[in-house]
Chain A
Amino acid sequence: MVQFYLEGDRISEFVAHLMKQKPVYAPHRKGQKSFSFEKTENAEDVVLDYVRTMHSIKKYFLPPREELLHFDLTKNESDPVEIPMSEAVFLGVHSYDLAAVGRLDYNFTVGSPEKNYLTRRQNAIFIGVSFEPDKFHFSGSVGIRPEDSTGCDIFLTKLFDGYVLEILTDKGQELMEGLNLPAHDAGKPATGHFHQHIFVPQAKLSEVMEHSYDNPVWEETAGKCVGCGTCNLVCPTCYCFNVEENVDITATKGSRERHWDGCMLREFSEVAGGEVFRETLAARQRHRIFRKFKYISDQTGQPWCVGCGRCTTYCTAGISIVSIVNRLIGDYERAAVAPV
């Protein structure tokens, strides 16, 4: 494996080198304390040392809102919106977000492949970066370490000043041509520890979830939850959407749009006739957790939660997915040892 040393002072030069070749999407500062992935206009604006962005890079493959087709009622015709094939570099991606892209690949490939997602996703190049877990990250518990470079073309590991840069694929090699960096012969530093943990692996979690349908934690969580949907919308593996048709003020032309939706929202489970098939917040909380650790996981053996901590970070009510899951584990373990 080829390793180079990217000195702190040369990061902008490295970003500019990438920008000369392809569009670069990377973390930028946003608002007072936040970060978000943005298209890079100035190499200096890229922040590689960040905690987490509100949205993962999912937003580039499955946009929050997108038009699917335009129609003209006077001619009774419609035109699908064609997605242009593009090559882009996603720089500064944390391991859990790339793992989430892997989960989405499964969701949009198995069954009926989804053209819009796959077209956008096809030529993506990923440059990962290690991260320092904060109080909400727990990806280690779902098998995703901060230094995990799976799926990356290039990977950056944080040093005291700068990064160890590893080239992992031919695409990565091509990108680096023309930028001379010194070789890095020493090892890589250890990454930080997680402060939050789910205490059992997925195999055991499936068993726990199987016995948790009637756990009181759902009702208790529903007492605090206001059903705002934030946890769904910031989740990098949530992929549910709604489709809506709108006609413009001419009343002759319009478009079909899809936008992100979420199972915590009452509307989401409302069907024709006004029936709501998951009426209570408790039922919706259970569904959300089961979607991450049971339903798809029973088929794939993998948790569909990547431990990014977003749902907990952005929950105004302070609901923690780790606390819910550990509570279920604790209750299950206690029930297992209790005398009948």
Chain B
Amino acid sequence: MADKPRVAIFDFTGCEGCELNQLNFEDQLLDILAHVDIVEWREAMDGQVDEYDIAFVEGSLSTPDCINRINEIRRKTKVLVALGACAVQGGVNGMKNTRPIDEVRQEVYGDDKYLFPTLPALALSSVVKVDYNVRGCPMTQIEFLKVFTSLVMGKEPIEPDHSVCVDCKLKENECVYEKGMICLGPVTRAGCDAHCPSFGQYCTGCRGLVSHPNLKGMEEILVEHGLSVDEAWKRLELYNANELEGVRP
């Protein structure tokens, strides 16, 4: 039998919630480990290695050191999978990118800002080639299992490109707007089985935008349901500031 693929797991700027969500695979963890050898994972084990087949990478890139490290990971891995909103699109960290970087550094670090060379929070794909995405905040477990199984079998994972509304309708969820809430489901990429709307919450857009969003149309929907134009764009920027840079009127 061929050697099992070697998996390494890394984190950048983020809350480590996506990694924690991997440890939360209580029912599937043994099945997962049957297919791969985990060779490097700071959050769960000791040691470092020189090569691996699949790298799962969490977090956004927000310092010069991050850029060096992600380049090194890319050199050592055959397949790179971005794990979660920060890694895929910059995530909530990206909100700081809507303000001048000096202003942000001043606010956070004060007079010591010169000791902390921070950059705008970037998605992994803006620096290195990302092969596949597992979206969500934290990363969507059902999607992780699909991507993982596809990689183990040597298949191309299918990345959904339809709205969360589709997942809601397939479950016949009462529309969040019917409950008087504001929801980003109409332009947010599905694949989470409409997790939040199914449990009484609204969609915050954590899985990123669909590939060709009509943002002007979405702004109109949000304004029609009571937000100001500014509030509407801030709501959209919560997870998608990088993608919306230069798009916002």
Contact = CB atoms under 8 A, between A and B. Distances in A.
Interface of A: 30-34, 36, 54-55, 59, 64-65, 222-230, 233-234, 244, 246-251, 259-260, 262, 265-267, 270, 281, 314, 316-318
Contacts of B31: 249-250
**Which of A265, A270, A318 has the most B CB atoms < 10 Å from its CB?**
A265
B153 interface: yes
Contact of A64 (B149, B165, B170): B170
Contacts of B96: none
Given A64-B171, A64-B172, A247-B153, A224 B217 contact: yes
Contact of A33 (B158, B163, B165, B178): B178
Contact of B170 (A32, A260, A316): A260
B94 interface: no
Q: What class of interface size applies to chain B in its complex with A? A: 35 or more
Interface string B119-160: 000000000000000000000000001101110110000101
A181 B218 CA distance: 54
A297 B35 CA distance: 53
B24 to A, nearest CB: 14
A270 B161 CA distance: 10
Q: Which 4 A-B pairs have the closest CB atoms?
A: A31-B174, A233-B169, A228-B165, A228-B186
A136 to B, nearest CB: 14
A318 B224 contact: yes
Given A223-B217, A230-B169, A244-B158, A34 B212 contact: no
A314 B169 CA distance: 10
B166 interface: yes
Contacts of B35: 251
A226 B166 contact: no
B12 to A, nearest CB: 27
A228 B172 contact: no
Given A34-B178, A259-B170, A314-B175, A251 B153 contact: yes
Interface string B160-191: 11110110011111110111000001110000
Contact of A226 (B145, B172, B186, B225): B186
A132 B169 CA distance: 25
Contacts of B218: 226
Given A34-B175, A64-B169, A317-B220, 20 more contacts: A54-B169, A64-B170, A65-B170, A223-B216, A224-B217, A226-B213, A226-B217, A227-B214, A228-B163, A228-B186, A229-B162, A230-B169, A246-B149, A248-B149, A249-B31, A249-B32, A251-B152, A266-B212, A267-B160, A314-B175
Nearest to B152: A251
9 contacts: A31-B174, A59-B172, A223-B216, A234-B169, A249-B28, A251-B149, A262-B166, A266-B212, A267-B161
B79 interface: no
Contacts of A30: 172, 174
Contacts of B210: 227, 266
B106 interface: no
Interface string B16-45: 000000000000100110010000000000
A246 B169 contact: no
A31 B145 contact: no
A267 B165 CA distance: 14
Interface string B87-106: 00000000000000000000
B179 A32 contact: yes
Interface string B195-236: 000000000000000111110111011001100000000000
**Which of B150, B161, B166, B213 has the most A CB atoms < 10 Å from its CB?**
B166
Contacts of A65: 170
Contacts of B177: 316
A226 B172 CA distance: 20
B174 A247 contact: no
